Structure 1
Amino acid sequence: MTEPRPDPTRRTHLGMRPGELAGKWYAKYWNPVMAPLPEHIREAIDRGPQAPPLCLELDDVGALEEAGYQDLENGYSLFDDGSMHIATVTRMPRVSPEMVDWWFWWHASETQRYKLWYPRAHLYAQWPGGAGERSAPYRERYIGGTSFVDEYVGHVPGRLAIRFVRPCSMGFSEDRLDPQEATAVCATVGFSDAPLDWGHLVHHVRRVDGGAEMRSRFWMGGGHVSPRGEVSLSGELGKVAEGVRNLGDAQARAMVVHCSQEMNHLAEFLPDIFDEFKRSEHE
């Protein structure tokens, strides 16, 4: 099977150009003014890199289903192999896990929807072939698909392929992921213009009083770098791989900021846009 590819002629820009939201029912949710970073995230960045033993290992990610918290919930760590681990908590008033599953299905098929999420960093989105069957539960509509997105992390632009996988493939018990109580968005992160993966992400969302709590985790670089398909890490692809094997402090800090800002901004409008979608059954 040929690997899906993004549109090579895509044009990207930050923000919305005049007329870009014309006729879009969701235009009212565009808000380029973003709130400051939460205090707990600023404190985590000030602490700098944390000891690797405090981090949740990728093989143990299913522990996020348990009550309570991990040793490192906000912050980052750098490892000897050049990889980094990122952890953030986002508190989401009035949000449910089901809303998050809906968002990961709905936003990916149109650039303007993707820009609502993070006006200061998101550039482009494409979902080849369309995202999921509308009759399926929201989580089933994005699992197995690949979202091509262009975005900035800090000052660095990236062209990414985010391939959504089943939560059970990363160690979650799917019978415990009732969309009214909890969900886990799980994906492999790679490049969209090169057959190379270089990380994994999880957003575990659970019900709390007054809404939901998202606990995000990223494992990137170092030993997480691998080719997609039957290709070798030689020549130009080898050079690309070397560029993401050794991720440093600046990139880790930028990733903490990026995740926190985009998820806090999403939490501001997600309950209302989801409610309008459900009431009107918009496309």
Structure 2
Amino acid sequence: MTAPQTTPELPLLDKVLVTCYPARTVKQFQHMRKRVAQKPYAKYFHEDLHIYSDIVPAIKNPLTSEQVLPLKDISRLLEPAYFEEEEGKNGWCALSDGTAYVASKTRFPGVTGDMIDWWFWWHSVEPERYALWYPYNHVEVQSSFAAVGDGRLHRADLCHREKWLGSTHRITEFIGPHHKTVRIQFVEPDHRHLNLASWSELQKAGYAAAVCAVLWDGSLPLKLGEFVHLWRTVEGGLELHSRYWLGHEVHLQLLGLKIPLDCLGGLLGIKRRLAGEEIAYEQFLHDQIEFTNLAGILPGLYSEYGPGRLP
């Protein structure tokens, strides 16, 4: 598989202000604003958040089953032809078994792959940094690498990717009005749960950065789904293509044994309660807001606090 012969461009589009937030997230914003005020990066904590205007129609109407990319076909994201037919596939829906599916495309003007790899460890050092990403919805974050005891997150002999790949982030956030704690297990793109591609194959396909993960319950050994974030090189920056399969292949992992719950969970409606249409909708909106905001603040953050600047 090879990258497109011509590099696509980031379109110049208007943004619209997000004006409606659940009451619980407004309280979270007010609480976190006080905490961030004491940090040197407080100017990147924004009250006004936006999405691109062309996203609004995708919020209003769910995708059809024909527009869904099954996880087994994830390698299509490496095909140049896939993006030529991708218009109309940006959005959300619930599958017949209750799995929530989200496809989200976001623009990252002026951003590089190195900035992405830096951000995914840098934000996990303290909750206030995590809150910059989505000031209303992001509550707590803790990297498993912070507990290693070797100062891994600040070691100069490690590259950015080595500071988050293979770690698990335990995060608490709001998805719409829902307060959730999950564990994000960052894995290789060719991990058995995804079977996407090797790093070299992604690079050949035009991707400058990739973040792939398996989602687990915050406390139980319960697998909740998968997601991928793929940043594709375009003229003027990067273009993020994200896919979420929430409530997908749910199972318990106990004493090295995998106990499948997917089929039973679908029949009993458990998957619809774990994921379903409402979470699909809220996750799409959440993704668009947080990544549009991150794209706006990342170049400045990296310039001020990137390698060699903030201990």
Contact 2:33 2:45 in 1 (8 A): no
**TM-score between the two structures when normalised by the length of structure 1:** 0.83
Query: 1:184 & 1:159 partners in 2: Cα distance?
Result: 23
Partner of 2:175: 153
C-alpha displacement of 1:84: 1.8
What one-letter code is carried by the residue in structure 2 that aligns with 1:226? Answer: H
1:190 counterpart = 2:206? no
Counterpart of 2:93, as a letter, is S
Q: Match for 1:226 among 243, 251, 274?
A: 251
Q: Kindly report which structure 2 residues correspond to 1:69-148, keeping only aligned pairs within 5 A, or say none.
A: 69=83, 71=86, 73-130=89-146, 132=153, 133-148=155-170
* Alignment check: 8 A CA contact 1:96 1:181 kept: no
Residues 272 and 78 of structure 1: CA distance in aligned 2, closer, same or farther (over 3 Å): same
**Residues 94 and 167 of structure 1: CA distance in aligned 2, closer, same or farther (over 3 Å):** same
Matched, 1:252 2:274: no
Of 140-149 and 26-35, the range deviating more from structure 2: 26-35
Q: In structure 2, do the counterparts of structure 1 residues 108 and 282 end up closer, same or farther at CA, with 3 Å as the change threshold?
A: same
CA–CA separation in structure 2 for the residues paired with 1:160 and 1:104: 16
Query: How many residue pairs end up in the alignment?
Result: 264
Structure 1, unmatched stretches of 5+, are 1-12
**Alignment RMSD:** 2.7
CA 1:19 to 1:38, structure 2 compared with 1: closer, same or farther past 3 Å? closer
Contact between 2:145 and 2:163, CA under 8 Å: does it hold in 1? no
8 Å contact from structure 2 (residues 118, 306) kept in 1:
no
Per the alignment, residue 27 of structure 1 pairs with: 42
Per the alignment, residue 19 of structure 2 pairs with none
- Mapped to 2, the partners of 1:193 and 1:281 lie a distance apart of 36
Separation in 2, partners of 1:104, 1:220: 21
Distance in structure 2 (CA, Å) of the matches to 1:181 and 1:58: 19
2:59 to 26, 38, 45: 45
2:78 is the counterpart of 1:65: yes
Letter in 2 for 1:94: G
User: Residue 96 of structure 1 contacts residue 212 of structure 1 at CA under 8 Å; is this kept in 2?
Assistant: yes
Aligned-pair identity in percent equals 31
Residue deviations 1:243-282, cap 9 Å, x none? Answer: 8511332221111100000000101110110111236521
Residue 220 of structure 1: how far off its partner (Å): 0.9
The question of whether the paired residues in 2 share the 8 Å contact of 1:85 and 1:220 is answered with: yes
Does the residue aligned with 1:89 lie in a helix, a strand or coil? Answer: strand
**CA distance change for structure 1 residues 194 and 110 in 2, over 3 Å: closer, same or farther?**
same
d(CA) in 1 for partners of 2:125, 2:223: 21
Deviation at 1:23, TM superposition (A): 5.2
Task: Tell which deviates more after alignment, 271-280 or 110-119.
Answer: 271-280
Cα offset, 1:129, TM superposition: 3.8
Instruction: Using structure 2 for the length normalisation, give the TM-score.
Output: 0.76
Matched residue SS, 2:190: helix
Shift, 1:61, TM fit:
1.8
